[in-house]
């Protein structure tokens, strides 16, 4: 039966914008401050209808509310010094969303670190890893999740009750969707030569970097070479057979997905008009270009722009092109 009570989401958006050009084009700018509150988001009731009622498979209703706000900027510059021309264009976006209300089940006093309300929409709960059980003394000193042994991750006892369970998980502050995205276009020309490049990147993003180590697939070399073993108790990774290593429910596997990438670089040379005229052509330009030339990031072992924890994707490729563009 259709649910006739469901309706559209409602978005209330507020913008304050400023744009202009200064010093005869030396500086151009576009600045947009925005704030959007979305209500009537489809979600299931939790707090208002407890599970002891037996109603655990409730239909979605228009009860959710999320706020998104930030700033979007574009700065441009053009100047010419003698025969050298410089053209710059940079963009910056900061957008942050927060859950206002999703009828969340109360976690109880002292468990605010688990709440989804006040955090970005879609963030998950993770155990906070504080180390590895390297020796029997570590196992005796710290509370452990059921079944944990030497080589497993040590989880922080968030509620201090001496037991590691689902109530010790912490809501993440970031996702693989970045809160900051930026880019910079640079163009230079001198006589018949020209150079252009595009830099792009992101910040305030986290990516789960985790792969099961069993008969179902491969593993990162860093993960296997640095794993804990009885002969390598100072390894930086938990043991392969670890119950905590086969689960991604820990911030141990969350990595900073900030990166800066040289996305495009092109160098060109335009033939002088005297030469192109002799060839009966209007213009001819020879160029060499490269894509995904350099990436500066902290993950290293996989593309920081990916949302696949186990690197199950076709990687970014470096591409080099050369050619000639002719206009008759």
Residue 63 Cα to chain centre, angstroms:
28
* pLDDT given for residue 325 in this prediction: 86
Least confident of 107-121, 133-147, 160-174, 302-316: 302-316
Q: Is the pLDDT reported for residue 246 higher than 70?
A: no
Q: Is the pLDDT reported for residue 157 higher than 90?
A: yes
Burial bucket for residue 198 (CB in 10 Å: 0-12, 13-18, 19+): middle
Residue of 4, 5, 34 whose CA lies nearest to 17: 34
* pLDDT given for residue 55 in this prediction: 65
- Mean pLDDT for 52-65 is 77
Say how far apart CA 134 and CA 103 lie, in whole Å: 42
pLDDT band at residue 52 under the 50/70/90 scheme? low
Tell how strand 129-132 and strand 10-22 pair up: unpaired
* pLDDT given for residue 318 in this prediction: 93
Say how far apart CA 319 and CA 290 lie, in whole Å: 6
* pLDDT given for residue 315 in this prediction: 80
> What is the per-residue pLDDT across 180-202, written as a single tens digit (0 to 9) for each?
999 999 999 999 999 999 999 99
What is the secondary structure of 105-130 as a DSSP string? Answer: PP--TT-GGG-STTS-TT--EEE-EE
| pLDDT > 90 in the chain, percent | 62
Average pLDDT, the chain: 89
Burial bucket for residue 182 (CB in 10 Å: 0-12, 13-18, 19+): middle
CB of 263 closer than 8 Å to CB of 198: yes
> What is the per-residue pLDDT across 84-142, written as a single tens digit (0 to 9) for each?
999 999 999 999 999 999 888 888 899 999 999 999 998 999 999 999 999 999 999 99
pTM comes to 0.86
pLDDT band at residue 16 under the 50/70/90 scheme? very high
pLDDT band at residue 3 under the 50/70/90 scheme? confident
* pLDDT given for residue 38 in this prediction: 93
Say how far apart CA 242 and CA 165 lie, in whole Å: 17
* pLDDT given for residue 320 in this prediction: 96
Q: Is the pLDDT reported for residue 268 higher than 80?
A: yes
Say how far apart CA 149 and CA 310 lie, in whole Å: 25
């Amino acid at each position: 039966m259709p649910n006739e009570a469901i309706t559209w989401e409602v978005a209330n958006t507020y913008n304050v914008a400023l744009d202009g050009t200064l010093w005869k084009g030396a500086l151009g700018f576009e600045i947009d401050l925005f704030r959007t509150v979305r209500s009537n988001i489809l979600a299931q009731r939790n707090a208002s209808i407890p599970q002891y009622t037996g109603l655990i498979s409730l239909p979605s209703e228009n009860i959710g509310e999320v706020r998104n706000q930030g700033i979007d900027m574009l700065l441009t510059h053009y100047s010419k010094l003698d025969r050298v021309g410089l053209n710059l264009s940079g963009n910056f976006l900061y957008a942050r969303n927060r859950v206002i209300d999703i009828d969340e089940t109360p976690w109880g006093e002292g468990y605010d670190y688990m709440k989804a309300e006040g955090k970005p929409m879609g963030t998950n709960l993770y155990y906070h890893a504080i180390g590895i059980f390297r020796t029997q003394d570590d196992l005796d000193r710290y509370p452990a999740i059921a079944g944990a042994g030497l080589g497993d991750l040590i989880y922080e006892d968030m509620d201090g009750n001496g037991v590691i369970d689902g109530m010790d998980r912490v809501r993440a502050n970031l996702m693989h969707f970045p809160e900051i995205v930026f880019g910079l276009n640079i163009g230079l020309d001198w006589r018949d030569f020209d150079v252009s490049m595009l830099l792009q990147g992101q910040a305030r993003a986290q990516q789960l970097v985790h792969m099961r180590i069993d008969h179902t697939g491969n593993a990162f070399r860093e993960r296997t070479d640095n794993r804990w073993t009885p002969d390598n108790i100072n390894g930086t990774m938990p043991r392969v057979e670890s119950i905590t290593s086969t689960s991604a429910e820990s911030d141990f596997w969350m990595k900073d997905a900030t990166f800066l990438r040289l996305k495009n670089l092109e160098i060109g040379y335009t033939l002088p008009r005297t030469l192109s005229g002799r060839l009966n052509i209007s213009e001819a330009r020879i160029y060499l270009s490269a894509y995904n030339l350099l990436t500066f990031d902290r993950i290293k072992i996989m593309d920081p722009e990916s949302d696949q924890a186990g690197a199950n994707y076709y990687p970014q490729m470096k591409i080099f092109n050369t050619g000639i563009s002719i206009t008759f």
